[in-house]
């Protein structure tokens, strides 16, 4: 490790050279000039991407001036090339949005393209001030009795990153082929995809350990220690992990289903290995529920077999209205609401005799449980309008006062009072 630190400190001597400082100042002036050009009133109409070529042209002219003056310009040309590649990635971003969905395009850029550019840029800059071969043989220390060099550690980290990032598409493709061949459910396919990804990552970690020259006995000892940690230290995390795999295989909770949580319908957005992401429509909130919750608590789903749901609104009508007429009017009104399904047909029921009204219930079916509140509001408004047009009275609580006399035997109702 001391050797690597000395190599890095040696780079400071390179930065103290007069020619290097001149090139860095020129690059900085070109970048600052490009930024200031955006604020000039004559150039405000230029597109944002048009300022970078202007800066690159200025940097190229400055580099040619240094070369004509027989001064070093290698660092300036390298930084200009890196600036040009970064500008190309910026233009490629808009092309990717035409070819891929925004989420996939962002994932491709953030996980592959930009990290690859930064890695190659760092290697190019290091090779400008030092030798990569000399840096690769720098000793970093020992791990399980094996000497670790900077080059081997760099290769190991790159392999781990590529395995973690690149195992997704192959695992998804293989799981899709197995689903086509065997006919497994969508939840089982996603479970297989996740298990394949974790298996590939585990094999990749073992391959990295072998590449570093670690003893297999030491790797087994580390695996045993991790298993003990899973059993005692992070048992809740491991329980959620196993619960997530089981839910995926069983298919009882799948993305797109609607579950009732605290009386509110919530749509399952993503079923992860630790927690399930739910979306609540009424306040656009995303909820993370631990997977093991679905094994310890009851959950109501409205989309286990299909997304149809029966909904209900309650209404009261005065006693002097014929119940058969009220029931027929409620059913006719429900059929006229656009988002109420015609089949099964709406059904109105007379439930009970209240203190001042007859209680009715109107039951109807909807196609999406997440729209239940809005559809109930539409049905209630339609009932209000229909009752108003047909002069059906919706009574409200009333109290009748009586004059009381003592003793009770002498009491007479108001209608008998003089």
- DSSP conformation letters of 195-243: HHHHHHHHHHHHHHHHHHT--HHHHHHHHHHHHHHHHHTTHHHHHHHHH
Options 2.60.40.10, 3.40.50.10680, 2.30.30.60, 3.20.190.10; CATH of 249-301? 2.30.30.60
Domain residue spans in the chain?
1-135, 249-301, 309-389
**How many CB atoms are located within 10 Å of the residue 150 CB?**
19
The per-residue pLDDT for 417 is 43
Q: Phi-psi category of 256—alpha, beta or left, where left has phi over 0 and alpha has psi -120 to 50?
A: left
- Residue 47, judged by CB atoms within 10 A of its CB (0-12, 13-18, 19+), counts as exposed
Q: Which of 347, 373, 380 is nearest to 362 (CA)?
A: 347
**Cβ distance 196 to 175 under 8 Å?**
yes
**309-389 architecture in CATH?**
2-Layer Sandwich (3.30)
Alpha helix positions (H), 251-397:
293-296, 323-335, 372-389
Helices 235-250 and 186-212 cross at an angle (nearest 10°) of 140
Coil vs helix vs strand at 104: helix
Give the pLDDT score at 333: 94
| pLDDT for position 416 | 47
- The SS3 call for residue 144 is coil
In this prediction, residue 227 carries a pLDDT of 61
Q: Mean pLDDT of residues grouped by 10 in the chain (418 residues)?
A: 62 71 82 70 55 73 80 82 82 81 80 85 80 72 69 80 78 81 72 77 77 66 62 66 72 74 79 80 81 76 69 92 93 92 92 90 89 90 93 79 64 52
- Show the CA angle centred on residue 299, arms to residues 298 and 302, nearest 5°: 145
Q: Are 180 and 192 in contact (CB under 8 A)?
A: no
In this predicted structure, what is the pLDDT of residue 232?
57
C-alpha to C-alpha distance for 124 and 21, rounded to whole angstroms: 18
146: which strand partners?
A: 143
């Amino acid at each position: 490790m001391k050797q690597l630190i000395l190599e890095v400190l040696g780079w400071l001597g390179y930065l103290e050279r007069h020619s290097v400082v001149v090139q860095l100042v020129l690059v900085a002036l070109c970048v600052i000039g490009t930024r200031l050009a955006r604020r000039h009133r004559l150039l405000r109409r230029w597109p944002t991407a048009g300022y970078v070529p202007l800066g690159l042209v200025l940097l190229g002219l400055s580099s040619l001036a240094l070369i004509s003056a027989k001064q070093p310009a290698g660092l300036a040309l390298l930084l200009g090339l890196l600036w040009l590649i970064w500008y190309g990635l910026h233009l490629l971003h808009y092309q990717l949005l035409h070819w891929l969905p925004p989420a996939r395009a962002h994932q491709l850029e953030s996980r592959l393209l930009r990290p690859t550019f930064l890695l190659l840029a760092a290697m190019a800059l290091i090779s400008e001030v030092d030798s990569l071969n000399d840096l690769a043989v720098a000793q970093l220390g020992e791990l399980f009795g094996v000497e670790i060099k900077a080059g081997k550690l760099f290769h190991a980290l790159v392999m781990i990153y590529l395995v973690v990032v690149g195992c997704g598409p192959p695992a998804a493709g293989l799981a899709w082929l197995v689903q086509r061949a065997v006919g497994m459910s969508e939840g089982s396919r996603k479970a297989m995809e996740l298990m394949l990804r974790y298996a590939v990552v585990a094999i990749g970690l073992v391959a990295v350990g072998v590449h570093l020259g670690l003893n297999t006995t030491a790797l087994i000892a580390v695996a045993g220690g991790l298993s003990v940690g899973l059993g005692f230290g992070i048992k809740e995390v491991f329980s959620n992990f196993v619960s997530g795999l089981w839910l995926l295989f069983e298919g009882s909770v799948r993305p797109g289903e609607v579950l009732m949580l605290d009386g509110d319908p919530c749509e399952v957005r993503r079923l992860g290995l630790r927690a399930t992401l739910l979306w609540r429509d009424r306040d656009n909130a995303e909820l993370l529920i631990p997977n093991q919750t679905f094994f310890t608590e009851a959950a109501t789903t409205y989309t286990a077999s299909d997304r149809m749901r029966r909904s209900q609104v309650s209404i009261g009508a005065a006693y002097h209205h014929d119940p058969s007429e009220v029931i027929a009017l409620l059913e006719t009104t429900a059929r006229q609401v656009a988002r109420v399904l015609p089949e099964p047909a709406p059904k109105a029921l007379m439930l009970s005799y209240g203190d001042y009204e007859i209680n009715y219930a109107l039951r109807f079916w909807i196609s999406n449980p997440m729209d239940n509140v809005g559809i109930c509001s539409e049905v209630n408004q339609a009932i209000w309008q229909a009752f108003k047009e047909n002069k059906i009275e919706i009574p409200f609580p009333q109290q009748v006062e009586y004059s009381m006399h003592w003793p009770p035997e002498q009491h007479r109702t108001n209608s008998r009072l003089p």
